[in-house]
Amino acid sequence: MSGRSFFIDRAIGETRGVVTLDGRPERLLIAREGGDPMLAVGARGVARVRKVDRALATAFLELAGGATAVLGLKPEGERLTEGQAVEIEIRSEPRHLKSANARFIGPAEGAPRLIEAAPGIEAELRALAKDGKLVEGFGAREAADEAEAEALEIVHPLPGGGSIAIEETRALIAIDVDVGERAGSDSKRVTRAANLAALSSGARLLRLKGLGGLVVFDLAGRGHDGAAILAAARAAFGPDNPGVAISPISRFGTMELTVPRRRRPVLELLRGERGGVSALTAGLRLLRMMEREGRASPGARLLATCNPAVAQAVKPYEAVLADKLGGRFEIIGKEGFPTDRLEVTAR
C-alpha cells in the first residue's frame, strides 16, 4: 500500500474516510447518521424469505426495518422456502433501483434483525492502513472535501495532459479518453501514454466514486499495443480484486472490463434526484462552513443563507451545532438560491 495515506473526518451528521494514492483521492467512505445498519456491506443478520424464484436461482429477502435483499442460490440450490428465517451477510450494498446482495450463512429463527454490525469507517481505514498513521483534524477535513469535490466531477485531467470523462448509464460506465493538447512530437507515443494514464486514473476514480459493474474504456487513437495496455489495466485494477475481469481491446478501440460492486456508489449519497448535490449534502457542507467560520470569528454572530430545502435538511443538526458554537447563529432559507449556493457571514 505504498503511496497511500488515510484520513478520517468526524463531522456533524456524517463521518467521512479518505484514502489517497500519491496525494490524489482514491477512496471516499461516507457514513451518515440515520443510515440502516443492516444494509452496510459486512453486516450480519436474520432475514425472512419473501419469495423463491427457482428459474432465476434467486431468493428475495425481507430484512429488519422492511428493507429488501436478494440471495443468489447455488447450483445445487439451498432448499429455502417462503417464510423461512435465514442468517445472511450483506455482500454488496443497495444502489439505484437495485436491492442489496446477500450471502447465505445458514438457517435461523425469529424475526428479521441485526446480529452483527458492519465494521465502521475507522475500523476499515485501520485495516487498510495496517501500521500506518490515520490522520484526523483539519487535514482530514481538507482531504475529505477534496475527495468529495473530485468524486462529483465528470471530466478529469490526466497527468501529462489530456482528460477522461466518466459517465454512468443504466447498463454500464463509459470512460472516454481524450488526448487533448498532450505534448509530444510522436503522435503514436503521445496517444499510447494518454491511454496508459487513462487506465491508471480511471481505476483510481472509479474507486473514488464507488462505481463498478461493466466498464468500457473508449481508448484514444488506433493500432493499440494490446499487450502493454492489458498489463497496465491489470495493474491499475489490481486493488479491486478478487472479481475483476478484463477483455482484449476490440476492433472498435474499446476495452471492456467488469469491476465488483460492493458499496453503494458515493455519487448516490452525494447527488440529488436531478443530478446536482442533494439538499442534505449541501446542508452538511453548510454546517462545516459554519464550524470553520465560528472558529475563525469567536464571539461573532453567524448568518447562514441557503436554499429552503437545505435549511430544512440541517434542522435536525442545529442542536449539535449549538453545542459546538453556542446559540450565536441563524440559518435562513432563501427562495431562488440554487442548492449548492451556501453563504456564511460573521457579524
Q: What is the pLDDT along the chain (347 residues), one digit of tens a residue?
A: 458 999 999 999 999 999 999 999 999 999 999 889 999 999 999 999 999 998 889 999 999 989 999 999 886 556 889 999 999 999 999 988 789 999 999 999 999 999 999 999 999 999 988 888 999 999 999 999 999 999 999 999 999 999 999 999 988 999 999 998 887 778 889 999 999 999 999 999 999 999 999 999 999 998 888 899 999 999 999 999 999 999 999 999 999 999 998 888 999 999 987 778 999 999 999 999 999 999 999 989 999 999 999 999 999 999 999 999 999 999 999 999 999 999 999 99
Report all structural domains of the chain as residue ranges with CATH numbers, in order of start.
Answer: 4-36+121-145 (no CATH), 42-116 (2.40.50.140), 153-266 (3.40.630), 275-346 (3.30.2320)
Task: Give the integer Cα–Cα distance in Å for 303 and 345.
Answer: 5
Q: State residue 76's pLDDT score.
A: 53
Grid cell listed for 79? 432448499
| Residue 106 in grid coordinates | 445458514
How distant, in Å, are the alpha carbons of 159, 204, 206, 265, 341 from that of 217? 17, 14, 12, 19, 34
Task: Give the Cα-Cα-Cα angle 36, 40, 41 (nearest 5 degrees).
Answer: 165
| pLDDT at residue number 131 | 81
Torsion of CA 80, 86, 92, 98, to 10 degrees: 60
Give me the pLDDT at residue 174, please: 98
Tally of CB atoms within 10 A around 255? 24
Q: What CA–CA distance (Å, rounded) separates 83 from 86?
A: 10
| Strand arrangement of the beta sheet that strand 329-333 belongs to | 329-333, 302-306, 343-346
Residue 75: predicted pLDDT:
67
The pLDDT, as a whole number, for residue 78 is 66
List the alpha helices (DSSP H) in the chain.
121-129, 138-152, 187-209, 226-236, 266-270, 279-296, 308-314, 318-325
